[in-house]
């Protein structure tokens, strides 16, 4: 079977998905003062909330890898993206630290396939140096998520609030 390389728009979609994961890795630190004040969080609870994202992301790596091989990226990414959206909505509605912990775990679970799905798809579509180039472009563009989680998020949170 001949596999044709994807369009630039599909690679952009993979980069945006990975960028959302990158955004959520950094965003909590930017809105920490607002979160702490609004939800009466201690520094340790705030740290635990951020750690929950990474713990969920870590725990999901093996199941996600198996699911990507058995079910394919389309189904896995769609299902996990729905979980991430649920986590983001729950985070925006959080009224206490416990809800924030659950929300961050859901976001971590939902982001677990973001970069690995790009790796799987680029490996299917490209070979050798072309795969490396395509994947490095996806990863480089996804770093916009980290940049957006900095000053732009701080400005928006100051203007509109963290929710």
pLDDT tens for each residue of the chain, 163 residues long: 445 556 677 778 888 889 999 999 999 989 999 999 999 999 999 999 999 999 999 999 999 999 999 999 889 999 999 999 999 999 999 999 999 999 999 999 999 998 888 888 888 888 888 888 888 888 898 999 999 999 999 899 889 888 8
Greatest C-alpha distance within the chain: 57
* 47 vs 72: CA distance, rounded Å: 34
pLDDT recorded at residue 81: 93
pLDDT recorded at residue 92: 94
C-beta neighbour count of 8 within 10 angstroms? 9
pLDDT recorded at residue 122: 87
pLDDT recorded at residue 7: 66
pLDDT recorded at residue 161: 84
Interior/surface letters 60-95, b for 16+ CB within 10 angstroms, e for the rest:
beeebbebbeeeebeebbeebbebbeebbebbeebe
pLDDT recorded at residue 95: 95
pLDDT recorded at residue 68: 94
Q: Which residues contact 115 (CB under 8 A, 6 or more apart)?
A: 18, 21, 139, 142
pLDDT recorded at residue 6: 63
């Amino acid at each position: 079977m001949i596999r044709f390389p994807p369009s630039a728009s599909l690679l952009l979609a993979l980069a945006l998905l990975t960028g959302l994961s990158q955004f959520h890795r950094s965003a909590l630190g930017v809105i920490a003062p607002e979160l702490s004040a609004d939800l009466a969080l201690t520094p340790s609870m705030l740290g635990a909330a951020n750690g929950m994202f990474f713990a969920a992301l870590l725990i999901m790596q093996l199941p996600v890898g198996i699911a990507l091989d058995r079910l394919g990226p389309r189904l896995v990414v769609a299902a996990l993206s729905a979980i991430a959206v649920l986590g983001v909505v729950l985070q925006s509605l959080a009224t206490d630290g416990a809800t924030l912990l659950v929300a961050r775990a859901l976001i971590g679970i939902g982001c677990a396939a973001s970069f690995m799905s790009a790796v799987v798809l680029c490996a299917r579509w490209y070979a050798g140096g072309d795969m490396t180039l395509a994947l490095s472009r996806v990863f480089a563009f996804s770093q916009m998520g980290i940049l957006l989680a900095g000053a732009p998020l701080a400005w928006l949170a100051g203007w509109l609030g963290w929710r």
